[in-house]
Amino acid sequence: MAIRELAELTWEEVRDLERARTVAILPVGALEAHGPHLPLGTDNLIAAAMARAAAGRLEVRGVHALLLPALAFTPAPFGAGFPGTLSVSPGAVATLVADLAAEAARHGFAALAIANAHLDPAHLEALAEAGRLAAARGAAPLVCPDLTRRATAARLTAEFRSGACHAGRFEASIVLAERPDLVRADLARALPPVPASLVEAIRAGARTFEQAGGPRAYFGAPAEATAAEGAASVATLGEILAEAVLAVLAPERAR
């Protein structure tokens, strides 16, 4: 079955959906610097790929998926010093996502799932606050697996687990798999590795890419990226999101 996108349907087609068995999936990313070799919208590309992969896995498990237009603007203070990065307030995102969860409930959807590909701490806190606001309002369940949790990160690549994974091999591989035309391949192949861990830098108090040791807004080894690794990572991201949805809607299906 073809993946359905809300923005492409008519209101009558939405009316006729089996909405009680349908999960709305919201891809969430950022518009921020991703080195000299990847586009500003890298997170949004990854989030959309994650959403599509999850939708396919949910369909075969008997849960319909409806893709929402991506939320492309989020808190991105780590990249704010680089031209092109557009960072919005955490409160704006928390309120918007909570409102969307309430709208999902009003339309009778089973849940609102977040395909999140942006890991700035301010953004993660905004999503956590959105979950609290949505729950307080009795909105649809908000499903948002945290990729930074140790057990979840363990399913992804070694570079991702290292914390040196912004615009490096992990993300560049996914863009190569999804939109190779957007990778500045010659630049990527010439970039030396930046092994500094963002996770460790954040724990030490860093608040920007520059402070974390990434003066060109990348961490990891983009020269090692491959489309094959990117496709595998997308598949895993889709599995993570689909399993999180199933665990909320039908725990027995997630076993």
- Taking the domains of the chain in order of start, what are their residue ranges? 21-254
Contacts of 152 (CB under 8 A, 6+ apart): 145, 146, 240
189 Cβ contact partners less than 8 Å away, ≥ 6 residues apart: 223
Of all residues in the chain, what percent carry a pLDDT higher than 90?
Answer: 96
Mean pLDDT of 21-41: 97
d(CA 39, CA 251): 38
Q: Is 227 in contact with 122 (CB distance < 8 Å)?
A: no
Confidence of residue 3 (pLDDT cuts 50, 70, 90): confident
- Residue indicated by tokens 């079955």: 1
Tens digit of each residue's pLDDT (9 = 90 or more) over 36-85: 999 999 999 999 999 999 999 999 999 999 999 999 999 999 999 999 99
Predicted confidence at residue 255, as pLDDT, reads: 45
Question: Please, which residues have CB within 8 angstroms of residue 219's CB and are 6 or more apart in sequence?
Answer: 163, 164, 165, 166, 167, 168, 194, 195, 196, 197, 198, 209, 212, 213
Per-residue pLDDT band for 252 (boundaries 50, 70, 90) equals very low
Tens digit of each residue's pLDDT (9 = 90 or more) over 129-142: 999 999 999 999 99
- Helix/strand/coil percentages in the chain, nearest 5: 50, 10, 40
Fold of 21-254: Rossmann fold (3.40.50)
**For residue 174, what are its two tokens?**
């996914």
